[in-house]
Amino acid sequence: MNDRAVSLFEKYGITPEKIRKGRGSLIVQTQEGQFLLTEYSGPAQQLQMEYELLQALSDCYDRPLDRIYKTQEDDAFYCTDYEGKKYILKDFVEGREMAVCDPLDIRRAADGIARLHLALRKVTFPAKEALCRQPDHLMGDFERRCAELLRARNYMRKLPRKDDFELSFLKNYDIFWEQTLVAMRFLDEDCIQSLGQKQIREQMLIHGDCNQHNILICEDGVAIVNFERVSSHLQVKDLYLFMRKILEKNDWSIPVGQNILSAYQAVLPLTQEEKMYLHARFLYPEKFWKVANGYLNRRKALPARRQQEKLLAALEKEEKRQQFLKRWSEICV
């Protein structure tokens, strides 16, 4: 066994019988059951909120949860190794990742997200009231991203020599910039205020990272794991994040989008304003912004070849994305 891993488990009073690798984690078998150890880079106060939330959810939500544990010695939500890296210990949830192209798995996942959203509205824990006082900041998100797009463009324009990626980015910039403006103008102020009031009134929380890696198909249903990004937002944001990931894997298929929306609404119907919010999110050119964001983030900057590959992948799917948006607006808005 890995000596470092064993020493980390000891901080929780756990004696490993067997350790195996998971997705970016270690899974340990003990006499008490299976646990998962994974690296954590966020703030400690986020873990406090996650701990309180999952403890409360376990009393009113009938799906498996990966609850986090405190260390035995200092009652902390994470432990550190000799390099100063932080780790958290959770319950291990047995299941397989949902299949992104399987209609039944997709429907099960959408149903599971809706049921989680219902539970998140009902659950109570000490930090929830203060957390739910701030409305969703969609326009703030769009404005921040637009500023990043402008910064990337302006930086590239000033370069004396430009590589293929930078030339391609600048060539396509105006098309995607116009899409950002359309997205920002789509919702009027009354709609935004009404949605914000609904979010606060119903004390909405979101998972914050609803992708296929965090949605497990288990023997007794769907489990959603990894709540490290839980926060207060309109829950349609979670639905959008999930839909976009699945639609990208399915060439922006209208039937796939309809399958997700119908499964979700069978549990938790959306208002017309929420559908408009969803469409505004879809209108924004997320992939193009992500390329710009990766370019600006020097600490995680990809080699020029990989940047070019990501940009070309976004451009190749743009026609199908636009076809989806045109048809989707007729169906849902």
Query: Model confidence over 231-281: pLDDT tens digits?
Result: 999 999 999 999 999 999 999 999 999 999 999 999 999 999 999 999 999
Tokens of 255: 């039937």
Closest CA to 55 of 112, 116, 125, 113: 125
What pLDDT, on the 0 to 100 scale, is given for residue 299? 47
Domains and CATH numbers, the chain: 3-94 (3.30.200.20), 103-332 (3.90.1200.10)
Helix (H, G, I), strand (E, B) or coil at 33: strand
pTM of the model: 0.93
Query: Model confidence over 53-73: pLDDT tens digits?
Result: 999 998 889 899 999 999 987
Written as one string, the DSSP assignment of 279-311 is HHHHHS-HHHHHHHHHHH-GGGPPPHHHHHHHH
What gap in Å lies between CA 240 and CA 237, rounded to an integer? Answer: 5
| CB atoms closer than 10 angstroms to residue 294 | 17
pLDDT band for position 301 (cuts 50, 70, 90): low
Query: Model confidence over 90-119: pLDDT tens digits?
Result: 999 999 999 999 999 999 999 999 999 999
What pLDDT, on the 0 to 100 scale, is given for residue 20? 87
Query: Model confidence over 21-60: pLDDT tens digits?
Result: 888 888 999 888 999 999 999 898 899 999 999 999 988 8
Q: Which regions of the chain does DSSP assign to beta strands (E)?
A: 18-22, 25-30, 33-40, 79-80, 86-91, 96-97, 215-218, 221-224
Determine contact, residues 256/105, Cβ cutoff 8 Å: no
Helix (H, G, I), strand (E, B) or coil at 74: coil
- Please say if the pLDDT value at position 202 is more than 90: yes
